[in-house]
Structure 1
């Protein structure tokens, strides 16, 4: 127990130390900066520690032909990776061919082999490359997306994928095949004014450098590291709080927005915003908890799903003191099948959960005091992710009873079940209602995942829709994550922020 606790603190310390070193130079997650090609006017880097945004100025004749000139903020990396950022030009600019975006290079010379995803001042979006040292920039692969503000560049072997979007819209992807850069490359953000006498400025936010899982990854056996993040739902601005080499999952925002509680390797941990301290919560014998832990609305009860060794390791539901001052009390019964907790009623009398009964998974409820269980849904496929609305009138959940996994809701007694989303390009999971009752945030998986699955380590989105259904869902975050990202209620009390987990194999 202590080894795991100090391990998480140790990795948090390592990342904090690295960030502190880089932040002294205003480089954030990057290692260094340079003016590639030695332009007459030198660019600058300004990293905002609070917002985790980068303001970059740059000059340079062009990024084209046999030689480049631009301002470069970079990091060295090996293997496959995903680069993602939200980008914005500052000002009207001088030349319509000014460029900003992501750059991958073998070296820091002006004529290095490279691949770059570029947004031009006139809105052109292109994936460009140079195959050889000193060679010409041979080709432009143009995207149909004009003037996007979300840019992603991914390497898989010798293939490169540029994905772009106007924030809130799905990504549009362009593929470039067969560019053989080194395994060890430089990656980074760049600004080029396309005019040696002019300096242009751009702001980059939500900047992420992601190392994905290995191609032979085995789910629930192999894990990669995790970032704990928060986001302002209105602006879309995200912040990373810390990194852990462990798999951390399912954060709850608690204690008047002063703390997060999350799961890792069967234990529960408490993160303090004030000082960044992590403490393990004493859950007694319950040391095989999955990521289905829930606080009651008044936070007087902590519900957990612990794999009960007295019932062949089946997930069973317990309640405990949130401070860890009491022994967990079992609520579900042995021998009835697996139970995965998702909600507690506002009056603290009922728990709702996904249960394996009669060889299928439906949503059930149970009276906390009497332990009497009752069934709320009954379908041939999967119903999951149940959660009460703050007023207790509705239960929101996800179901694939009509094909794709979609969002649904019903009355608290299980009646009047209605479908809320009708997506063909997304599979929607885990609806979480804001404390003010106005919004639903949820995770959407790509349509390629298996029926009824919500796997680890996928390109996913977090989406937002109003509870009155007055508008369609919109994307508020493009993430690499999935299972464990946002399985539990993750809203702040003011209904302005959410917390969630993303993944990377640093």
Structure 2
């Protein structure tokens, strides 16, 4: 899959939304690189991929991001670190910096923070998921085998990964892997493609986008399935066991019935809120450069958005969980032209 780049006249706009923000706030803009899929670290910075690399973006102080504040201009640029192994040279500065990894293939927009606050898991062009430290350095592959492994979730205790295996027909299957043993289990999700699996904070469920409840191709809907735990323990257990067990219930549960195409449900760390992305009816998959809406709901009610931010975006806008640790804000990306 080729790495995305900005179109002529297009720019990356990193934005912040939240329950108290009627309008999203701009915290960073650039016309030099297409950045995607923010993660929000415990240290108060965002991690975004771009041109196959991972970048760290320091956020302005909260006092500078209050409601009604003027958009923050891009920071003065300095030259990128020497020896960048691939892609065009990207001018970075005090706020945007490349994280230098050793031996990491080009990555995509599926990357997830470990609960320990020190590591990140990244899906790469070699089809595998790699683990590295947030400050860079060597990486290690934690998956094996053919096909693509598209990572979206890690269990609250950091013991299990949830990702999607895709076949040659781009049909996804939900997989949960034990990081200690490497053991994998396929989680039943019904018929149709599934993508974006992510644990709820209590460890009981995996949220995902699924085509199990529609006959329309590509019409993803927000779904949840019971999360598998360890043998001898409950779902989301924190103790090592001899292997994986299957979920306690069969099949997926439809949590939001809508006419839109709904992608990437992300619960806040406290479990009170969730964000997700909606496309117009008839959209196939989650393409880039479309008119989309980033929605915020107060759980358990998925049907009545508290906030709805209409933006030019889509692919790369909010592929992975981007909530702040305090559950008061989340980040997403827009890609306007002109």
> Normalised by the size of structure 2, how large is the TM-score?
0.76
* Residue of structure 2 equivalent to 1:443: 277
Query: Which residues of 2 match residues 375-454 of structure 1 at below 5 A?
Result: 375-403=186-214, 404-413=219-228, 414=247, 415=249, 417-424=252-259, 426-450=260-284, 453-454=285-286
Question: Residues 325-384 of structure 1, C-alpha deviation per residue, up to 9 Å, x if partnerless?
Answer: 3x211111132x111000111111110001115853111011112212110134442111
Q: What is the Cα deviation at residue 412 of structure 1?
A: 1.0
1:377–1:383 CA contact under 8 A, matched in 2: no
Q: What is the Cα deviation at residue 499 of structure 1?
A: 0.5
2:34–2:51 CA contact under 8 A, matched in 1: yes
The structure richer in strand per residue is 1
2:256–2:302 CA contact under 8 A, matched in 1: no
> C-alpha separation between the residues in 2 aligned to 1:396 and 1:428?
12
> C-alpha separation between the residues in 1 aligned to 2:136 and 2:5?
29
* Residue of structure 1 equivalent to 2:154: 344
Query: Which residues of 2 match residues 121-132 of structure 1 at below 5 A?
Result: none
SS across alignment from 1:291? strand
* Residue of structure 2 equivalent to 1:299: 117
* Residue of structure 2 equivalent to 1:254: 41
Question: Residues 425-473 of structure 1, C-alpha deviation per residue, up to 9 Å, x if partnerless?
Answer: x1100000001101111000111312xx101111110112233237533
* Residue of structure 1 equivalent to 2:130: 318
Residues 1:471 and 1:407: Cα distance change in structure 2 (over 3 Å): closer
Q: What is the Cα deviation at residue 501 of structure 1?
A: 0.4
> C-alpha separation between the residues in 2 aligned to 1:298 and 1:465?
27
> C-alpha separation between the residues in 2 aligned to 1:269 and 1:233?
27
> C-alpha separation between the residues in 1 aligned to 2:302 and 2:331?
25
SS across alignment from 1:496? coil
Query: Which residues of 2 match residues 128-167 of structure 1 at below 5 A?
Result: none
Of structures 1 and 2, the one scoring higher in RCO (CA 8 A, sep 6+) is: 2
Q: Where in structure 1 are there 5+ consecutive unaligned residues? A: 1-217, 309-314
* Residue of structure 2 equivalent to 1:353: 163
> C-alpha separation between the residues in 2 aligned to 1:357 and 1:470?
31
Q: What is the Cα deviation at residue 283 of structure 1?
A: 2.1
* Residue of structure 2 equivalent to 1:99: none
* Residue of structure 2 equivalent to 1:288: 106
1:252–1:262 CA contact under 8 A, matched in 2: yes
Question: Residues 95-132 of structure 1, C-alpha deviation per residue, up to 9 Å, x if partnerless?
Answer: xxxxxxxxxxxxxxxxxxxxxxxxxxxxxxxxxxxxxx
Larger radius of gyration: 1
Pair 1:365 & 2:171 matched: no
* Residue of structure 2 equivalent to 1:46: none
> C-alpha separation between the residues in 2 aligned to 1:221 and 1:389?
33
> C-alpha separation between the residues in 2 aligned to 1:358 and 1:501?
30
Question: Residues 210-247 of structure 1, C-alpha deviation per residue, up to 9 Å, x if partnerless?
Answer: xxxxxxxx995764421011123323232212212221
> C-alpha separation between the residues in 2 aligned to 1:475 and 1:288?
34
* Residue of structure 1 equivalent to 2:22: 236
Number of aligned residues? 277
SS across alignment from 1:423? coil
Residues 1:219 and 1:480: Cα distance change in structure 2 (over 3 Å): farther
> C-alpha separation between the residues in 1 aligned to 2:6 and 2:117?
33
